[in-house]
Structure 1
């Protein structure tokens, strides 16, 4: 060793870094089997119910994005074409020339706000009537050219009905022309849109997420409780104190 100018030997090197906490690192204990199975079951509920709810919203939106509408059949008047509980896809008409005999249409019958889906059996031009203020009788309108005015109507009939519908329907009360039929979709969509269906699809996953959060909090508390207390190594500090005395 190289002597100092005062003849003493080199002083031992002193590590003046802060003392480090030492202790054995304990591996995390595996979760019990029941705990893992419970977690899997809860996440399964969240995924299945979440997908069901998202599908119930996405199906009508998909048809709307394609300028179509989906209606639920509530009667068997068009059997065997489709039955109650099926869903019918409609396309709105832009002109009366889109209508042809044999097409299935959905419409509001005159004087009713309930949609009916029947087949066109005839297209007719009927007099466009208005009430005469003087006599109170219904008379045919006269156009600017002096000619009697007519209005387009459709005569409809349910495939399962023996007779055609009593009243012809004006073109303006037609909702759309049938494009496709999906068997059984109607009951599912009707249930999914009901208060009961919404509750079934939303309440279980919310409860499952709340349970998962409580379980995670319990796991965190147990991990903190089982963590070993750190031990501080005072060896370096005692060496510093002896050398500085």
Structure 2
């Protein structure tokens, strides 16, 4: 009876260890996935890609309900833009970006340059200043809700440490432990093989 109880306890312990290992692997996988998404979001919001896609975080509700606050918009440059397009642009004299819809497009008869009037869907009036094509970064292709919050936070000093440095350190530490564990197994295996291959002393 005691041996049956011991075997049952061992099975329960093995099952528990299995669940713990699965949970650890799932958490580790989610951590890696989250890190890739956040780092990718930060990189794509700062640099052009080979496919001309850029990501930008939406910090206001001027495009509600189509684009929510805290969303990330994927933007691609086009050769031309028309009324109704949702675009991301830089207002004159500003380093920040705005994502609004083109409400009007007028061509200057003297310069033949197109001037665009923009408007947020949730705003009651058009934007005060018009913009030129050179100020437009691109047209919005799609948006991802909520992703903008971690991407914006990761671009601050505290956010960079909490969302990128610390998770990266955890991942590197975990990989070092796994490599050490595998190396230990290999060394032990070779030691056993060497001991077996030694001739027995008479």
Normalised by the shorter chain, which TM-score bucket? 0.5 to 0.7
Q: Which has the greater radius of gyration?
A: 1
Is 2:139 the counterpart of 1:157? no
Partner of 1:173: 135
Deviates more, 1:72-81 or 1:42-51: 42-51
Gaps of 5+ in 1: 1-31, 128-147, 235-245
Q: 1:162 to 1:38 in 2, by over 3 A?
A: closer
Number of equivalences: 178
Partner of 2:32: 50
Secondary structure of the structure 2 residue equivalent to 1:50: helix
Q: 1:212 to 1:43 in 2, by over 3 A?
A: farther
Question: RCO greater where, 1 or 2, for CA within 8 Å and sep 6 or more?
Answer: 1
Q: 1:217 to 1:164 in 2, by over 3 A?
A: same
Gaps of 5+ in 2: 1-12
Q: Counterparts of 1:45-84 in structure 2 under 5 Å?
A: 47-56=29-38, 60=44, 64-84=49-69
Is 2:76 the counterpart of 1:91? yes
Partner of 2:99: 117
Q: TM-score, normalised by structure 1?
A: 0.56
User: What does the per-residue CA deviation read over 1:167-206, in whole Å, with 9 as the maximum and x for residues that have no partner?
Assistant: 1112211111112122223224445665121124311122
Secondary structure of the structure 2 residue equivalent to 1:155: strand
Secondary structure of the structure 2 residue equivalent to 1:232: coil
CA distance in 2, matches of 1:70, 1:206: 27
Cα drift, residue 41 of structure 1: 6.7
CA distance in 1, matches of 2:39, 2:175: 21
Cα drift, residue 153 of structure 1: 0.8
Q: TM-score, normalised by structure 2?
A: 0.66
Bigger proportion of residues as helix: 2
- RMSD over aligned Cα atoms: 3.9
Cα drift, residue 35 of structure 1: 8.4
